[in-house]
Structure 1
Amino acid sequence: MNTTTKTMSAVAVSVSATVMALSLPAQAEDWRGWNIHPPGYPNTEALEAFAENVTERTEGRLTVQVYNNGVLGDQPDAIEQTRNGALDFANFNMGPMGPIVKETNVLSLPFIFSSVEHMHEVMDGEIGQQFADALAEKNLVALSWFDSGARSLYNTERPVHTPEDVQGLKIRVMNNDLYVEMIEALGGNATPMAYGEVYQALKTGVLDGAENNYPSFESSNHYEAADYYSLTEHLIIPECLCIAKASWEALSPKDQKIVREEAVKASELQRQLWVEGSQESRQIVLDAGIEINEVEDKAAFQEKMEPVYAAFIEENPDLESLIDAIRNSN
């Protein structure tokens, strides 16, 4: 074979290889998502819709899967895994986010939001972007905000109409100093406890009560032990659909746009399903004979929180303007 023939042959092989490479589909990126909730839960339904739609719209460039029931770890572990890119996305409640992103502690202040609708307006706007910016500094890209309802007090002893009705009650709270201070400001005895231990503690009298939203009160069967549910609505804590910063930055602008759009759609779906689920849970506990009462004078409870706010601001003076912005936005 002469030199010219060899050269032409090499060129043909090179062109053929290039054509084959261009004709092959790009390697799909497998995304893993963390979710603490079980199948059928509003958050789970929304996350699975997000995964399916992103996979479809990116034409397989991303293959997205959600792992439910916390099988990839508890929330603190999942936060760290997402921050370092071991997980690609997750649905996080802002309550346990405080130790990592101190700005999010503002969202755990009692009565910081006047209603769920107020929370939506704040988190979907410029103030919500401030929280997203703070999360981004810790390698978490918050694309949309989920609902987790309003948390109210329930107990085994009596309806709560005024702060005085909380006096002396042993109330379970999440493990956060703000929640302990909240109950103590009302005259109750705050008891941090793992969620899975609350049912038995209510049954045996170790606890007199706890605080949570309708779906949790119903699905945990706490209503079997606590006869009184009082609509204090003292905590309204948003959740994020957060993407690992490394995973986000690896996307093309086109795919970033798709992922962001689907995250917003997932939030809209989750909020709708949350309202429907809350109504169903409320009816279940009503049918079981639970006494549900409105709290006519929430201002009395809010006044009791002023020392909690004062102590928080003294410790975090740089966050006072953020608190004021939220309070003045309603």
Structure 2
Amino acid sequence: MKHLTTLATLLAGVAFAGAATACETTFRSSDTHPEGYPTVAAVEYMGKLLEERTDGRLCIEVYHSAQLGEEKDSIEQTQFGVIDMNRVSLGPFNNIIEETQVPSLPYIFRSVDHMHTVMDGDIGQQILDAFTPHDLIGLAFYDGGSRSFYNSQKPIKTMADLEGMKFRVMQSDLFVDMVSAVGANATPMPYGEVYSSIQTGVIDGAENNWPSYDSSGHFEVAKYYTLDQHLIVPEVLVMSKVTWDGLSAEDQAAVRQAARDSVPEMRRLWAEQEAQSEAKLEAAGVEVITDIDKTPFIEAMEPVYAKYVTSDVLKDLVARIQATE
């Protein structure tokens, strides 16, 4: 009986190993966020859909927590085909793909629902298509929540409170100019360096959404969160064009559809995580500043729009977004 049990265990192990290696192609996908984060879980969900729909031929392995590099480096690796897929913030693309500047503009979206309507339609597809000339295939947009300022020094209620303070931003000229427009000093740096930089006083704070503020632990060193919601920037899931060109038309269609079908799941996970993070951080003693007049902040962004919305393509995108109900 003991021998039978041992044999059964061995056979089960062989079967498991066979199942684990059954995929003909496994795409390596990068994400800077930790395991369990909504964007990571959404790409894993996409992988399950893809594996089921291709009878196990195509799979996705998600490397979370910046295992394959911070966003700027991982974008270049994806362009070269070293990384197959990448979930990335739009900010790092702003200096590469001009269309990505539009959804990155402060206060361009009136609400999260407005952003969804815009990015799920023709405008969103036009922006996804703009990735192709840059050796990337735009697959889908995920939520990035609304981004607000947080800092270690004091409650921020007005633009005057921001004067001279140092905030980390993504490595994007647009983000630098946005922070400068409200009187603060922008310091571009990789996401992974923010915690220690706040802790040591290199910067006073940063700006991000509730789940990132939570999962990064930044609330531990920056307990003042001002709900100014200056950005509602979607995030993007891309595939290397090198990898894409190696797929059959049928498999390309399967990848694109699985990506689209992962979006509702991502949004469900995001809404759930956002509510949990907000409740957790308020219980942890974070001071949330909600009594803020956004009008001066919105008006201060006029020079930013003037600087970045210059081409006919961008002007048209802005006008169409503003006209979208």
TM-score range, shorter-chain basis?
0.7 to 0.9
Partner in structure 1 of residue 323 of structure 2: 328
CA contact (8 A) 1:232 1:295 kept: no
Q: Show the counterpart of 2:93.
A: 97
RMSD of aligned Cα (Å) = 2.3
Q: Deviations over 1:186-221 (max 9, x none)?
A: 122222233333333333433322211111212222
Q: For 1:40-55, list aligned pairs within 5 A.
A: 40-55=36-51
Q: Which of 59, 64, 80 does residue 68 from structure 1 map onto? A: 64
Kept after mapping to 2: 8 A contact 1:145/1:238 = yes
Does residue 179 (structure 1) correspond to residue 175 (structure 2)? The answer is yes
Give, in angstroms, the shift of residue 306 of structure 1: 0.3
- Please give the secondary structure, in 2, of the residue aligned with 1:92: strand
Check if 1:237 corresponds to 2:207. no
| Alignment partner of 1:255 out of 251, 254, 268 | 251
Q: In the TM superposition, what is the alpha-carbon distance from 1:30 to its structure 2 partner?
A: 3.4
Q: In structure 2, what is the equivalent of residue 297 of structure 1?
A: 293
Instruction: Please give the alpha-carbon distance, in whole angstroms, between the structure 1 residues aligned to 2:133 and 2:191.
Output: 30
Match of 2:128 in 1: 132
- Paired AA for residue 322 in structure 2: R
- Distance in 1 between the 2:72 and 2:152 partners? 31
Q: How far did residue 301 of structure 1 move?
A: 0.8
Q: Check whether the contact 1:147–1:274 (CA below 8 A) recurs between aligned residues.
A: yes
Distance in 2, matches of 1:82 and 1:63, equals: 17
Contact map agreement 1:39 1:45 (CA 8 A) in 2: yes
- Aligned AA (1:321): D
Residue in structure 1 matched with residue 141 of structure 2 by the alignment: 145
SS of the residue corresponding to residue 134 of structure 2 reads: coil
Q: How far apart in 1 are the matches of 2:86 and 2:197?
A: 31
Mapping of 1:1-330 within 5 angstroms?
A: 28-314=24-310, 316=311, 318-330=313-325
Shift of 1:305: 0.5
Report the 3-state secondary structure (helix = DSSP H, G, I; strand = E; otherwise coil) of the residue aligned with 1:107. Answer: coil
- CA spacing shift, 1:126–1:204, aligned 2, 3 Å: same
Query: Could you say which residue in structure 2 is the equivalent of 1:23?
Result: none
Take 1:77 and 1:191, find their aligned partners in 2: how far apart are those partners? 18
Gaps of 5+ in 2: 1-21
What TM-score do you get using the length of structure 1 for normalisation? 0.84
CA separation of 1:208/1:33 partners in 2, compared to 1, >3 Å: closer, same or farther? closer
- Please state whether the residue corresponding to 1:113 is helix, strand or coil: coil
**Contact 1:95–1:107 under 8 Å retained in 2:** no
By how many angstroms is 1:153 displaced?
Answer: 0.8
Kindly state the Cα deviation for residue 34 of structure 1 after the two structures are TM-superposed.
2.1
C-alpha separation in 1, matches of 2:295 and 2:202: 30
State which drifts further: 96-105 or 125-134: 96-105
Q: How much identity, in percent, do the aligned residues show?
A: 46
Shift of 1:61: 2.6
Letter in 2 for 1:48: E
**Residues 313 and 287 of structure 1: is their aligned pair in 2 closer, same or farther, counting only changes over 3 Å?**
same
Would the alpha carbon gap of residues 244 and 177 (structure 1) be closer, same or farther in structure 2, given more than 3 Å must change? closer
Query: 1:264, 1:156 → 2: CA distance?
Result: 39
- Aligned partners of 1:203, 1:84: CA distance in 2, in Å? 36
Judge conservation of contact 2:228–2:292 (CA < 8 Å) in 1.
no
Q: Is the 8 A contact 1:162 1:295 kept in 2?
A: no
Contact 1:160-1:295 within 8 A present in 2 as well: no
Q: For the structure 1 residues 99 and 55, does the alpha-carbon distance in structure 2 shift closer, same or farther, using more than 3 Å as the test?
A: same
SS at match of 1:210: strand
C-alpha distance 201-179 of structure 1, shift in aligned 2 (>3 A): same
The Cα of 1:228 is off from its aligned counterpart by 1.6
Note the C-alpha offset of 1:96.
0.5
State the structure with more CA Rg.
1
